[in-house]
Amino acid sequence: MKGERIVGGLSCGEVLDRLSDYLDGDLAADVRGALEEHLRGCDGCARFGGEFRMTVQAVRAHLLASPAPPSRLRDRLAEALAREPGRRRGE
Ligand SMILES: [Zn+2]
């Protein structure tokens, strides 16, 4: 993939593959750490567009603001996404 970056030992594609598991708290601690490391350091993930972009940005904002267990993170993300304007598709 063009512009693919390896950050924290994961590529952007690998991060996006695991993003839903991450939000569910289903990842092993080492994978979760690598994913968080990637999201903190990678601008490429925010370029995927749509839901991924919003989710990635919300995760990043959260990680930069305060580390917390994934269960709490998920609540915070749901709030952040609910507040995000323009989440309607098309029309
Ligand atoms: Zn990335």
For the stretch 36-87, pLDDT in tens is 999 888 888 877 777 788 888 888 888 888 665 556 677 777 777 787 665 5
**Domain presence at residue 11:** yes
CA of 77 to the centre of ligand 1 (A): 18
CA of 22 to the centre of ligand 1 (A): 15
Our measurement of the distance from residue 19's CA atom to the centroid of its chain's CA atoms, rounded to an integer in Å, reads 6
Domain count, the chain: 1
**Domain presence at residue 89:** no
**Domain presence at residue 90:** no
* Type of residue numbered 27: L
Domain that includes residue 65, residue range: 6-83
**Domain presence at residue 88:** no
CA of 45 to the centre of ligand 1 (A): 4
**pLDDT over threshold 80, residue 25:** yes
Question: What pLDDT is stored for residue 5 in this prediction?
Answer: 83
Which of 38, 71, 72 shows the shortest CA–CA distance to 56?
38
- Give the pLDDT mean for 7-12: 92
